[in-house]
Amino acid sequence: MTLRITNQKTITYPEKENLIDFPFDKNGSEYIEAVQEHFQSRFVNPLFESINQREVKIESVDDKGKATPIERDEIIKAIDFESAASTFHFELQEELNEIYLESSAHHIRSEVAYSQQGLVQLFARHNLPLPSSTIVYRPYMDVIPHAQKSLVDWQPNIELFSTGIASVIGFSRLHDNHLFVHCRDSDVYEKMVDQILAESVNAPANKMASIQKVKEIKMNNDLTTTWVLPTSGVNTNVADYSDYSLWRLAEKFILEAESKEELYVPNFNFNAYKTPNYITFVNVDAHASTNDQYITKEYEKLIQIIYKLKAMKGVPIKKLIRAEKMDFDSQSNSLDQELQARNENKDITRRSFRKLNGKAYSHKQQIKMIQRIIKRQHQVTLSKNTYVTKRATFNRANRREPFNLNKKGIKKHTSYRPDIHIYTDTSGSISEKHYKTSVFNIIQIAKLAKVNIYFSSFSHIISEPVFIQTKGRSAGAIYKEIMQIPKVSGGTDFENVWKSIEVINKKEQSPRTNFIISDMEYYIRKGRIMQPGTPQVDNTYYIPINVAPNEYSFVKRCAERLIKGLIHNGHKNARNYFVM
């Protein structure tokens, strides 16, 4: 797909006053509608501003030259869908990204989500490279100097200060509902708290307890202070935006102070303006007077907080909480996993990967690659896959001439490699022919590698694993046994496979090597954490089903989407685990 835009006025994303000026005592539903309209006016309507009084046309052009118009309502619906979706839709992200990229006055081609294009533009406007594995921003080099300059000359140094912070804490991909507010000093923060308390005198009694909590959260000389906003009673994934809610009261002050250059709200993510769940107040004055060791240590803590808040999605919050004081461990078992997974990958952009093969590997090539994977697995203490090796040594007597010390004996050594567990996709998109081919491949793998295997079929549910004895048996006998195992049907869901791998790893004494055979048609969930060091990351490989040459492009496209999702969720080397 290529994009064609005509008659459009080049746009620049607004850097200030992106929050809405709306009375805090008005109904919550009216506020949400007003926010939606405000968001459209700031970030969607500029796409359709004409440079010559003619109608702006945004068209998608396919390979055959056919143009399909993209209307304003379609973009709005796509943005709303992407914001609310529980899974990653990278095709939609790429289309939105391309639209915003082609329309922007300052742009850098990147893989970040459309909602982060405001931040990308900020880097481009100041001629700064985006963070990558080779371009790393440091707090003592890219944050402290700009903080010192900002106190003297607010603009444009506060923007450069923002780019440094965004880069150090992980660019912007994690901050969909995380709003950052830069305060000139702690006095501005205290002034905001006083105003919130003063204007909350008419607030309902059920909200007063949460509002009064702001008195307990002091900034002092801390570099940052993070609020976890109370959630609404209806939806635990979004904060309370009703009348006299804490966010509505804080928003009023932030707008007023931003116009006086006491505050600055960076454009880290479009969605954070619409529905913030967390607010991190950044003390610019404290940053200007800190030292290298302290800021490095404090930013490590801030990164922990941000990652753990992301993993805490869906937990109901009854009152305002300071994130630094939260007992994260009691909220979710996955919090430390999220932190460890992210810390493993310090580079702060999505990891690019080798392109998948343009043509499907032949059956022989695929089998050879799988054999290499099995052979390079580390030995384990115990498994059902034993390998006996023999070597000549003087430490053992020769069997034929036991008293001849000049002849070597034979020493046998038994080693164990991980058990092989094969998960075969049997969802509705897998035909009977594909399934039989997959079974045949499984047998080939087992026979050539001389291993016994565990077998499971999966769709949106997963079957119980069955141990298949392959050593000393014919291929026909093995084929009949596998074909007699009941298949499960439905839609593809890798989540069940990953959970099964995790459970088996806890039960067994040694990890298994897992192979997932599928057409890869799966949208990974946003909340799924792929933690390095776990078997679903380190010991799980993905094999495409054998398809006709004209069907391979579909499997390849699905695999590329899945790889992006795995990388985004912490599996930084996902490409190396696909036999494609």
Each of the 580 residues of the chain gets a pLDDT tens digit; together they read: 677 888 888 776 656 667 888 888 888 888 888 888 888 888 888 888 888 888 888 888 887 888 888 888 888 887 776 666 656 566 676 777 777 777 777 777 776 777 777 788 888 888 888 887 678 888 888 899 999 999 999 888 899 998 888 888 766 445 568 889 999 999 999 999 999 999 888 888 878 877 888 888 998 889 999 998 888 766 667 788 888 888 889 999 998 888 888 999 988 887 788 888 889 999 999 999 998 889 888 888 888 787 777 766 667 777 788 887 776 544 444 445 544 544 444 443 344 456 788 888 887 888 888 888 887 776 666 677 777 778 888 888 888 888 888 888 898 877 777 788 889 998 888 888 888 888 888 888 788 777 788 888 888 888 888 888 887 788 888 888 888 888 887 788 898 899 888 888 887 767 788 999 998 888 887 667 787 888 888 889 999 988 888 888 888 888 988 888 888 777 888 888 998 8
Tokens found for residue 142: 């890219």
Q: Count the Cβ atoms, other than its own, within 10 Å of residue 553.
A: 13
Integer Rg of the chain from CA: 29
Is residue 349 situated within a structural domain? no
Residues 228, 332 within the same domain: yes
Q: 81 by DSSP, 3-state: which?
A: helix
Q: In this structure, are 228 and 176 located in the same domain?
A: yes
Same domain, 404 and 458: no
Entry field: residues in the chain: 580
**Distances in whole angstroms, Cα of residue 35 to Cα of each of 21, 251, 270, 271, 273:** 9, 12, 12, 11, 9
Spatial contact of 417 and 510, defined as CB atoms under 8 Å apart: no
Pair 388, 500 in one domain:
no
CA dist 117 and 112 (Å) reads 7
Is 353 domain-assigned?
Answer: no
**Among all chains, which residue has been given the structure tokens 């912007």?**
172
Whether residues 538 and 402 fall in one domain: no
Question: Do residue 394 and residue 310 come from a single domain?
Answer: no
Whether 357 is in a domain gets the answer no
Whether residues 429 and 473 fall in one domain: yes
**459 in a domain, yes or no?**
yes
* 358 within some domain: no
Co-location of 535 and 406 in the same domain: no
Containing domain of residue 131, as a range?
2-343
Q: How many CB atoms lie within 10 A of CB 504?
A: 18
* Among the listed residues 507, 432, 403, 493, the one whose alpha carbon sits nearest the alpha carbon of residue 465: 507
In a domain? residue 51: yes
Instruction: Tell me the pairing of strands 385-393 and 409-417.
Output: antiparallel
Q: How far apart are CA 508 and CA 420, in angstroms?
A: 13
Identify whether residues 329 and 413 lie together within a single domain. no
Instruction: Check whether residue 410 and residue 423 sit in a common domain.
Output: no
Sign of the C-alpha dihedral computed for residues 193, 194, 199 and 205 taken in this order: positive
Run of H or E including 434: helix 432-449
63 in a domain, yes or no?
yes
Domain count, the chain: 3
H or E, element range at 311? helix 292-311
Q: Are residues 427 and 394 in the same domain?
A: no
371 with 242, same domain?
no
Task: Say which CATH number the domain at 480 has.
Answer: 3.40.50
Query: Is residue 132 a part of any domain in this protein?
Result: yes
Full-model pTM: 0.64
- How do strand 224-228 and strand 278-283 relate by DSSP bridges? antiparallel
Task: Please name which of 429, 466, 422 lies closest in space to residue 444, comparing C-alpha atoms.
Answer: 422
3-state secondary structure 324-372: HHCCHHHCCCCHHHHHHHHHCCCCCCCCCCCCCCCCCCCHHHHHHHHHH
